[in-house]
Structure 1
Amino acid sequence: MAQQSTLARFFSGIPQKRKFDSQSESKVKYEQKRKPRVFIESWKKEFDGIEDSPNGMICSFCTKFPLLADKTSSLFTGNTGYRIDSVRSHFSSEKHEQCSKANYAAQRRENEEHFEGPIDVAIRKISEKNSKLLVYMFNTAYCVMKEELPFTLYPTMLKLQVKNGSDLSRLKSYQTDKACARFAPFIADAIRDPIKEKIENCKALSIMYDGATDVSISEVEIIYVRLLDDGNPKDFFIGLQDLEHAHADGVFTAIDTAMNSHGNDNWKAKLVGGGSDGASVNIGRNNSVATRLSAGQPYVLNVHCVAHRLELSILNAIKTNPMLVTVQDMLKKIYKHYHYSPKALRELRAIAESLDEKSVKPTNLGGTRWVPHISAAIKCLLKNYVVILSHFEHVSSQGRATPEVVGRATFLSKKMKDYKVLTFMFFIDDLLKIVSILSLQFQKDGATCLDFLDSPQTATMHLVQLRQAPGTKLQELLDNIEHRDNNAFYKDNKLSSYAQFNYGPFQAIIDVVVDKVSGRLENPNDPTKAIL
């Protein structure tokens, strides 16, 4: 019946009723009622290069490089639909990627100093919270490198921070030792770049260099630069440069390579001075690093390190003194006795605890600088005098150790109770205190030629004052010596070789020291004084 009705309508020419399209009608109604689409400003942060224009939203990178762009893309001609899907499709296309790279290269050529590279863009897109966490990780990596720790400790340090409440576990990809290694060049650049800029902008500079050995036991040259920064002299570390050869040409090549690596090809034109130790390869008159630094530039001033010269003058003044030889031998034996025997060190600490004293492990005499090492060794011995002497007397009286150890303990205990040895150590402590202060003045950053003139004069005045009367330490010893039954005791220990105190031999040592220091530091031909 329904089919007949339909056929009748067809042959009679009466139009058939169409079914109602509810989906199409709802779509039409939506388009009529919806608000007009507009450009979303937040898209600029997410999609670098997108902009709004009178023709609709466009990609500024693609319109800037039409030869590389996809001209059929709606974001090249202007998209008025303002749909996020269109934006994502365009920015994931290969043509847009090529335009983006071209724009990056153009920005770099226009301004080398103020352009935003891929790393900067990536960091800018990281959330503020993650940026802070990344800063914490960089600081942790810097601590690892600054303290010369292995990279494998970096993950452990991060775990400790997480345990203390930090949220570093969010960035899992940066928690390995390999991540720490990846941070290293960026941290180095952050430290090196300001130095490069200062060297590039300075008008004059000086070079300080010395031989060294790195952790791989390779011979290297350590290089510093001194220049004026805001009117004040400052020292900057350039680096450790490998030496192909240890002769003058090899050292000069290492210096030149290190300076060039900082982007300072014209450093030699700014050079006004050089400083090093007294090795002939550095400051020889005919064929040395100094002659190469001053080649064609006679105004370049090459100086033998004043701290090194002071060290040599003191060593030359007292190194042959018989009493100093005895004291040095005694200090070496004491150091070896405790350094190579954990049992001896444990017994020393036990005795210190029973005497209610603090125990400090004796130090070694070896090292780059002789003065501070022997001074530290003497101070340590005098500070632990009662504890160390009690231990040696205990070892020698018990006789349980090997004959060699008993013999050493007996020898050292006798020397420590020798009046002449004891007074000499206290005197040397006073003497080296003055010398150490002078040495530190020479070594401090920013020291100038005026400091070089003033500091020795002040030290000489203190030495003259020490010559007039015993110093603080020696006088303290003399005041604490007790006399009982025609014997002398220091801290209840009977002293041998006791005699009436005679300051004459110590005054003679001071005279030799003053003469040697003056000869080394007050040479009229010294180039440092010549410029003043």
Structure 2
Amino acid sequence: MANFFNLKFFDGAKPGMKRKTVSDLSRENNKKQYESKRERDFQSSWQKTRPWLIHEDGKMFCKWCKDTNPDSDSTFIKGCENIRIDSLKTHEKSKQHLRSVDRHVNVNEQPTSQATSCLTKLNKSQIGQLSIKMRTAHFIAKHHKSFLDYKHICELDKMKGLDVGTSYTTDKGGATLLQSISSVTRADVCQSITSAKFFSFTCDGSSDFTGDDYESIYTRTCTNGVIQDQFLSIGIAKSASSSDIHDHICENFAKLGLENEFKAKLVGLCSDGASNMQGHKSGLVALLRKTHPHIVTVHCLAHRLELAFKDTIKKVPLYEKMMTLLLGLYYLYRKSPKLKMGLKRSFEAHQTKMLLPTRVGGTRWLPHLDLAIRNFIRGYKAVRSHLESSSHTSPKAEGLAKIAGDSNLLGFVLSLQAVIQPLVRLSLNLQKDDQTLADDHCHVEATRAVLSHLTEKVWQYRGQSCNSSLPVSS
């Protein structure tokens, strides 16, 4: 009772309260000193859920409150220096901020009438129809199909239940859509050239089935270490002379608005070794050096590999004999359905998969030659037996059968297959889009090492065969 009686002498005293010890007081003082010296940093994660929050000059502002009440004395309008999450939560609950949020939402919401919603749905439907037809037109061009097939594919899409509409469903409509696609793609290519610090281009000639000669131009740019090879244009020059090709290239760059880039950023040219391209006196290289003395010209490495292979192999008589055999087999079975059916029965009799002779040569010569040799070796038994059985009625088959039975030729074909495989891998690597000269040098050195190792193995085999044929001394 005496303890309760003494409570009246202490202001704010309550029963059961413990007096603070010295350790508790020191802890509170340390905390106050820590809070007074503490420097709080603004957390960027606070802005993820608060689009109105702005942090400038070490202060926090409320953008929405500043827009609605710029003359207010609120802390978040003048700038809050208390960088704490509690300050943000307190401001979010204030009436002024809630009114600013409502006003901001009402201003940004656009009234949607029934007519507006119908128009939006109509636009979405038209966009869906155009996307289907543009994909079809892109497929037609990508796979070298006729635009007459475009109309039938659109009819097929209708039968599948796809809404393709009624416009742009003819072959002319497909060509119009493809022109739009090409213009957008070409604009991206031009933009990559404009944004690059420098560029080079590759020029090569080609011909279509009508016999017209076309000059195609590919550009190579490097932006932030990323190499891009992109198709720029294709067209017909007045002639195959170097001056006409030079004028054709300049006109193409000028039409695309890249005349200044062509003058200031061109640093390299890659082409084949024809005299009208690489000629030092009157070739395209010589004409470009007049305006671009710093230009670096490169003879296409894939072309050089083909020329080096042909210069080496043309001295071997068996090579011409092999080419005669492979070309003869290709045209023999291509132009005679009767002989092709007989070859099929021959493969069935030998219980092997049918492999027709393929064409030697083409756009990628070494890979095509390798494919023709592989098919000939795999189907040799069936092809030779059919040629021998058909030799009684076909003089061509009789002549090819005699060539195919030459043991020296067969040994040469097998040896050439072993040599040509690393060259084929090198050719395909040289034709990749993202290759640099440093990468090509590594591939060339690796191919040299493989061929050197193959040569050593051949000489070792010849030495063993010669030793085995020598008479044993008594």
Question: What is the TM-score normalised by the length of structure 2?
Answer: 0.70
Is residue 311–residue 369 contact of structure 1 (8 Å, CA) maintained in 2?
no
| Bigger relative contact order (CA 8 A; separation at least 6) | 1
Task: Specify whether residues 158 and 501 from structure 1 end up closer, same or farther in structure 2 by C-alpha distance, changes over 3 A only.
Answer: farther
Q: Aligned runs of 1:299-378 on 2, under 5 Å?
A: 299-378=294-373
Listed one character per residue, the Cα deviations across residues 269-314 of structure 1 (whole Å, up to 9, x for unaligned) are: 1011111111111111111111222224322101111111111111
Listed one character per residue, the Cα deviations across residues 383-404 of structure 1 (whole Å, up to 9, x for unaligned) are: 21122112112213xx3x2xxx
What is the match of residue 263 of structure 1? Answer: 257
Structure 2: distance between partners of 1:419 and 1:250: 52
Q: Return the match for 2:172 from 174, 178, 197.
A: 178
Aligned residues: 355
What is the match of residue 76 of structure 1? Answer: none
Structure 2: distance between partners of 1:276 and 1:502: 47
Structure 2: distance between partners of 1:433 and 1:462: 10
Give % identity.
29
Is residue 427–residue 470 contact of structure 1 (8 Å, CA) maintained in 2?
no
Q: Return the match for 2:146 from 130, 147, 150.
A: 150
What is the match of residue 156 of structure 2? Answer: 160
Structure 2: distance between partners of 1:237 and 1:300: 21
| 2:411 pairs with 1:416 | no
What is the match of residue 92 of structure 2? Answer: none
Is residue 263–residue 292 contact of structure 2 (8 Å, CA) maintained in 1?
no
What is the match of residue 113 of structure 2? Answer: 42
What is the match of residue 273 of structure 2? Answer: 278
Q: What residue identity is the alignment partner of 1:261?
A: K
Q: Aligned runs of 1:95-494 on 2, under 5 Å?
A: 126-168=122-164, 171-266=165-260, 267-396=262-391, 399=392, 401=393, 405=394, 407-469=395-457
RMSD over aligned Cα atoms: 2.6
Structure 1: distance between partners of 2:266 and 2:421: 36
Listed one character per residue, the Cα deviations across residues 13-36 of structure 1 (whole Å, up to 9, x for unaligned) are: xxxxxxxxxxxxxxxxxxxxxxxx
Give the Å deviation of 1:125: 7.2
Give the Å deviation of 1:227: 0.7
Question: What is the TM-score normalised by the length of structure 1?
Answer: 0.62
Give the Å deviation of 1:208: 0.7
Give the Å deviation of 1:41: 4.0
Q: What residue identity is the alignment partner of 1:201?
A: S
Q: What residue identity is the alignment partner of 1:152?
A: L
Structure 2: distance between partners of 1:276 and 1:314: 19
Structure 2: distance between partners of 1:378 and 1:451: 29
Give the Å deviation of 1:336: 1.8
Is residue 223–residue 240 contact of structure 1 (8 Å, CA) maintained in 2?
yes
Which deviates further from its counterpart, 247-256 or 228-237? 228-237
Task: Specify whether residues 502 and 160 from structure 1 end up closer, same or farther in structure 2 by C-alpha distance, changes over 3 A only.
Answer: farther
Tell me the SS of whatever aligns to 1:295: helix
Q: What residue identity is the alignment partner of 1:383?
A: R
Listed one character per residue, the Cα deviations across residues 119-157 of structure 1 (whole Å, up to 9, x for unaligned) are: xxx9x7733234222201110011111122111111211
Structure 2: distance between partners of 1:125 and 1:371: 56
Tell me the SS of whatever aligns to 2:387: helix
Give the Å deviation of 1:218: 1.7
Tell me the SS of whatever aligns to 2:214: strand
Structure 1: distance between partners of 2:447 and 2:361: 25
Is residue 241–residue 255 contact of structure 1 (8 Å, CA) maintained in 2?
no
Q: What residue identity is the alignment partner of 1:448?
A: T
Give the Å deviation of 1:45: 4.1
Listed one character per residue, the Cα deviations across residues 502-528 of structure 1 (whole Å, up to 9, x for unaligned) are: 89xxxxxxxxxxxxxxxxxxxxxxxxx
Q: What residue identity is the alignment partner of 1:213?
A: S
Give the Å deviation of 1:40: 6.0
Listed one character per residue, the Cα deviations across residues 350-407 of structure 1 (whole Å, up to 9, x for unaligned) are: 22223322112211224244423322221111121122112112213xx3x2xxx1x3
Is residue 220–residue 242 contact of structure 1 (8 Å, CA) maintained in 2?
yes
Structure 2: distance between partners of 1:166 and 1:312: 52
Listed one character per residue, the Cα deviations across residues 209-238 of structure 1 (whole Å, up to 9, x for unaligned) are: 012223542222111111113412221111
Structure 1: distance between partners of 2:372 and 2:349: 24
Task: Specify whether residues 376 and 501 from structure 1 end up closer, same or farther in structure 2 by C-alpha distance, changes over 3 A only.
Answer: farther
Structure 2: distance between partners of 1:431 and 1:501: 21
Structure 2: distance between partners of 1:224 and 1:377: 30
Tell me the SS of whatever aligns to 1:363: coil
Tell me the SS of whatever aligns to 2:290: coil
Tell me the SS of whatever aligns to 2:360: coil
Q: What residue identity is the alignment partner of 1:221?
A: E
Give the Å deviation of 1:43: 7.5
Task: Specify whether residues 424 and 212 from structure 1 end up closer, same or farther in structure 2 by C-alpha distance, changes over 3 A only.
Answer: same
